[in-house]
Structure 1
Amino acid sequence: MFPFNTSTFLSRGNKHRSAFILIGFFLLYVVWNLKGNMSDQTLDYFTGPSGIKKRDAAEVRWSHAVNSRSRLTEALAGPTHMIEADIIIRGRDPKEPIMAHPPDTDSDITLKEWLEGVKTHNKGIKLDFKSLEAVSPSVALLEEVLTGPSRPVWVNADILPGPGGQARPLEPQAFLSAVTTLPTHTVLSLGWTTGWTAGIVNPGYSWDMVRGMEEVCRTLQHPVTFPVRAALLVQSFSQLTWLLQQSDRYTLTVWTGQNDKFTLHDLLPYRNMFDISRIYYDLPDLLRTELSMT
């Protein structure tokens, strides 16, 4: 029978406990960093002495349909933080990504020229894809021109049918297989096709719609923002609340159609329910400013 040495046993036990503690801290560190890499860093980029004063996504200002040289010059010189533009493939030779919204088929600026113009300015960008054929060549240009890790880059497409939507969404897996090659700080803006008609009761985002979207997004490694139509928010509160609760990677981006009708009070339940850093408001400046003061 071997002699039992109590001090040796305790010493080995302490070493084992120390090893388990170190492994535990290491795993927490890895998980924390993965969480940080997958969360939306847009507000971090704009918050500071020369930017917005607090982590309130309602403070972020937007320029829309920046699809020409003149609009790009105006947006780069202005006070907005995020510049949004639409991308299609030119309808004639040379077939390349250009900045235009259907039914337009041509533009005075290509995506490559647009990105070169943005590169020297302190702006974030949101690129809205209207066709699958434009995605892969655009992603290649993004990787080539915007190599820095800090600038907010959002890529947007409607990938599922939504309330009142008549347009055909982009095929989800085809779009995601192309854009998920982008760095993990890239924000994927994934929406539903929608419609809104005055004078009738418009349906909101259904449970099937939000569950279908969450199923698509749950395994992604990128932060995801869901563009949601302001005029459909009141009737979708339970569904969109549930969707946001599924992951810290998720945010909402509230937008409006030109003729949509809604009120500030329609937006307040979301502002009161969630951290103000998790809901962006791509709305007219007057309404967005009023909302940020609530």
Structure 2
Amino acid sequence: MIGLKPASDYKWGHAINSQLLLDQTLKDASVNAIEADVIYSENQQQAVMGHPPQTDSALTLDSFLQQLLRSEFQSHQTQTIVKLDFKSQSAFDTSLDLVARYVEKTQFPVGLWINADVVRGPGGGASVFDAGAFVESALTRISDKVVLSLGWTTGGDPAGVYTREMVQSMHEVVSRLCVDGGVCVQFAVRATSVVDSMQALVPLLDASEQFGMTLWWSAFCLRPGELQRMRSLLHAWRERVFYDVCIEQ
């Protein structure tokens, strides 16, 4: 992906949703990609860092972004990634201006990934987002150079499979809104499902050189053999596949 390091060079900090975790992450020079979740606090009437069922947080999105700026974590020179995973429409709507100002200050939009689960996936319910409206808002209100990280809703079964129908629904979103403009898209795929879903997922990777995949999983660490199997299956697209997973030591 132009402007970023090779995908294999990124070490992720996952769910950096508290002040403690943010402090620890910014002190860890080996972490060069941060994934954090954004919810809406009714109490504070603003976007804060947290993951459902959490409903509030002491760390606001505003503070989170300001601390990234003060730490100089992100720039063309550092080539770091910040992935914001929005959990509700309210969280997204109230974040747009803040995130747009952050992009203006870093001048590195390709390093900012805007994520939401916009299509129904394995075991998941209906998305809380209108996929088309989410993509359009991200590209017009924030920057048309950000990376769109689009995922599927998922349920509790870690072995659930992404079907052709689920992938086709995602393809309709990106083919209509992204291909002609050359927008970079990362498809957020549950790592525990990717092996059994490869046949369905490959057409997305083949649709555009601007399309890639981020494998995520946080419930438990994967075994090294599992990671190696994924890398082997995805070898042809290795420069576009990122791994936001924990590996057993």
Check whether TM > 0.5. yes
* 1:67 counterpart = 2:67: no
1:113 counterpart = 2:63? yes
**Is residue 284 from structure 1 mapped to residue 246 from structure 2 by the alignment?**
yes
Do 2:47 and 2:61's aligned partners in 1 also have CA atoms closer than 8 Å?
yes
Q: Which residue of 1 aligns with 2:100?
A: 143
* Cα offset, 1:285, TM superposition: 4.9
Answering whether residue 165 of structure 2 is matched by residue 208 of structure 1, we say yes
Aligned equivalent of 1:264: 227
1:59-80, Cα deviation, whole Å (9 max, x unpaired): 2111111111111111111121
Q: Does 1:176 align with 2:135?
A: yes
Q: Which runs of 5+ in 1 are unaligned?
A: 1-39, 48-54, 288-294
- Cα distance in 2 for residues equivalent to 1:134 and 1:203: 28
The alpha carbon displacement at 1:163 in A equals 1.3
Q: Identity over the aligned pairs, expressed in percent?
A: 33
Residues 222, 247 of structure 2: 8 Å contact kept: no
> Is the aligned partner of 1:156 residue 2:107?
no
Deviation at 1:156? 0.5
Q: Deviations over 1:161-182 (max 9, x none)?
A: 1112246442212322321212
Give the TM-score normalised by the residue count of structure 2: 0.85
Q: Does 1:275 align with 2:237?
A: yes
1:271 is displaced (CA, Å) by: 3.1
Q: Deviations over 1:148-168 (max 9, x none)?
A: 332500011000111122464
Alpha-carbon offset, residue 203 of structure 1 = 4.3
Q: Counterpart of 1:275 in 2: which secondary structure?
A: helix
What secondary structure sits across from 2:94 in the alignment? helix
**CA pair 260-162 structure 1, distance change in 2 beyond 3 A:** farther
- Could you say what secondary structure the match of 1:205 adopts? coil
Q: 1: distance between equivalents of 2:9 and 2:39?
A: 30
Distance in 2 of aligned mates of 1:63 and 1:134: 21
Q: Is the 8 A contact 1:230 1:254 kept in 2?
A: yes
Other-structure match for 1:96: 46
Offset of residue 257 of structure 1: 4.2
Matched residues, number: 232
Alpha-carbon distance, 1:226 to partner: 0.4
Task: Find the partner of 2:188 among 227, 242, 246.
Answer: 227
1:84 and 2:35 are equivalent in the alignment: yes
What TM-score, normalized by structure 1, do the two folds share?
0.72
CA–CA distance in 2 between the matches of 1:258 and 1:126?
Answer: 19
Equivalent residues in 2 for 1:21-60 (5 A)?
Answer: 40-41=1-2, 44-45=3-4, 47=5, 55=6, 57-60=7-10
Mapped partners of 1:217, 1:168: distance in 2: 16
Query: Is the strand fraction higher in 1 or 2?
Result: 2
Task: Select between 162-171 and 114-123 the one with higher mean Cα deviation.
Answer: 162-171
CA distance in 2 between counterparts of 1:242 and 1:137 reads 34
Q: How does 1:234-249 map to 2 (within 5 A)?
A: 234-249=195-210
Give CA deviations for 1:168-212 in whole Å, capped at 9, x if unaligned. 4422123223212122221110010123537xxx44211111111
